[in-house]
Amino acid sequence: MKKYDYIILGSGPVAMHLLAKLERTTNEVLVVEKSLWGGTCPNTGCQPKIFMEGTVRPVLNSYYLAGKGIKEAAKIDWPTLVARKKKIWAAFHKNERKSMTGKHSDTIQGKGIITGPHTVKVGDQEYEGKDIVIGTGLSPRDLDIPGGKYAITNNEFFDLDELPKRAIVIGGGYVAMELATILQAAGTEVTILQHSDRLLRPFDQDYVQELKQIMEERGIKFHMNAPVKQITKDGDQYTVTTTNGENFDTDLVINAAGRKPNVEGMGLKEVGIDFDPKRGIKVNEHMQTSIPSIFAAGDVADNGQPNLTPVAWVDAYHIINFIENGITDPIKYPAVATNAFTYPEIAQVGIREDDMEEGDYVKTLDLSDMFFSIGEGDSHAKLKVILNKNGVVRGASELSIHAAEDINNFVPLVGRKYPAKFVEENLTFAFPTPANNLDTLFR
């Protein structure tokens, strides 16, 4: 049995950040991956999404500027876009596993099954690790309805060679809203079916409703409180039926109804690791599972944090500090920013207005009359910041085509006393840019 200092299950952001630290040591590391090297984010999630965003954004930007200096809106050449994506990602797939293999790190393709506090089995081989880290992430939750198999997920979306004329998107979260944005920009007739009356739950709901209205004005149709009952197939066409009896004919169905932690079939129950199939693996303040030599990090860990890539980075670094550097302080998460790459974008850090407590108050800023917003046709741009009675920033929300980038300016301000003083001492951002809004808010 070959022995390692660390065995890492999953090759996503947890593995990448553990390896970044461990490669500076002589620790022997084994990375086990059952699917695509690099995990969801670079393969079927945030990275192909942001790649397509590079085309979608100028197209939609030109849509809003048509007749205001641009003669006509641009159009997406879908076959060329997807072919370019496939070419770029083919090179990525070829090199990603190699990037994780080094002098002190091995990689194995296969499903890792935990057989004990220090052992993992892959195929018919068993390996020993002083510590084991589970970073297997999330995967799309199956549609448990008749015909659910007919729906594709984000796993297949970014390789669609043919653009559908019509598409049904089931769900109302990040994935649903972002894929709907891409498809509509490319010319598809898009309908979103959401089982409840809310979209994008982590975000400020006033801004979410405004975003919904903007998307509707571009032609995206929303049906709220419309749980899907079944999907039927007739040739190349599909019919999606909701529980209230509505039928929707379409050329493509996308399941964006949620994600689940990858915890099944890994031996967790057999060795006594506590987990919930919906929430993930239970961990303590050092990311240890119920077996101290086995850790869980990132989306698969039930750590009380949003399932976002930067959270996985924090988890990975804490594990290294705990094991290698003897740090005993509990893991501490900084303010976590999040955003949806819709158009316009919506972004959030800290608390929302709905979460305000007694003494909290809101400062708002209309960004639509800023010259950069006027120039880009961003007529709905707006920002709100929540402070407590002592002037401490508790959260910020933004709706604009630059919201994802701009919200990062507020991350170091959340929880900070005297934000006006901080801003006054850090006024020298490039000008004119969205970062200059800080001066306007706190002068």
123-159 pLDDT, tens digit each: 999 999 999 999 999 999 999 999 999 999 999 999 9
Is 174 annotated as ligand-binding? yes
The structure tokens listed for 291 are 């077996």
The predicted structure's pLDDT at residue 420: 87
Beta bridge partners of 363: 385
The predicted structure's pLDDT at residue 114: 98
Q: How far apart are the first and last CA of the chain?
A: 65
- Using one digit for the tens of pLDDT, what is the confidence trace for 147-201? 999 999 999 999 999 999 999 999 999 999 999 999 999 999 999 999 999 999 9
Is 258 annotated as ligand-binding? yes
Is 175 annotated as ligand-binding? yes
Is 326 annotated as ligand-binding? no
Angle at CA 160, nearest 5°, toward 157 and 165?
A: 100
Q: Which of 402, 400, 341, 44 is nearest to 182 (CA)?
A: 341
Is 178 annotated as ligand-binding? yes
Q: How far apart are CA 48 and CA 89, in angstroms?
A: 9
Q: Please give the order of strands across the beta sheet that includes 237-242.
A: 228-234, 237-242, 247-250
Is 270 annotated as ligand-binding? no
The predicted structure's pLDDT at residue 422: 87
Is 172 annotated as ligand-binding? yes
Do the beta carbons of residue 349 and residue 414 sit within 8 Å? yes
- The ranges of the chain with pLDDT < 70 are none
The topology (CATH level 3) of 344-442 is Enolase-like; domain 1 (3.30.390)
Is 67 annotated as ligand-binding? no
Is 177 annotated as ligand-binding? yes
Do the beta carbons of residue 121 and residue 115 sit within 8 Å? yes
Burial of 412 (0-12, 13-18, 19+ CB in 10 A): middle
The topology (CATH level 3) of 148-257 is FAD/NAD(P)-binding domain (3.50.50)
Containing 249, the helix (H) or strand (E) segment is strand 247-250
Q: Please give the order of strands across the beta sheet that includes 345-350.
A: 337-340, 345-350, 393-400, 382-387, 361-366
The predicted structure's pLDDT at residue 443: 84
Do the beta carbons of residue 264 and residue 270 sit within 8 Å? no
Note the CATH architecture for domain 2-140+260-324: 3-Layer(bba) Sandwich (3.50)
Is 299 annotated as ligand-binding? yes
The predicted structure's pLDDT at residue 202: 95
Residues of CATH 3.50.50.60 domain(s) within the chain? 2-140+260-324, 148-257
Residues of CATH 3.30.390.30 domain(s) within the chain? 344-442
Is 148 annotated as ligand-binding? no
3-state secondary structure of 146: coil
Q: Which of 227, 241, 298, 256 is nearest to 141 (CA)?
A: 256
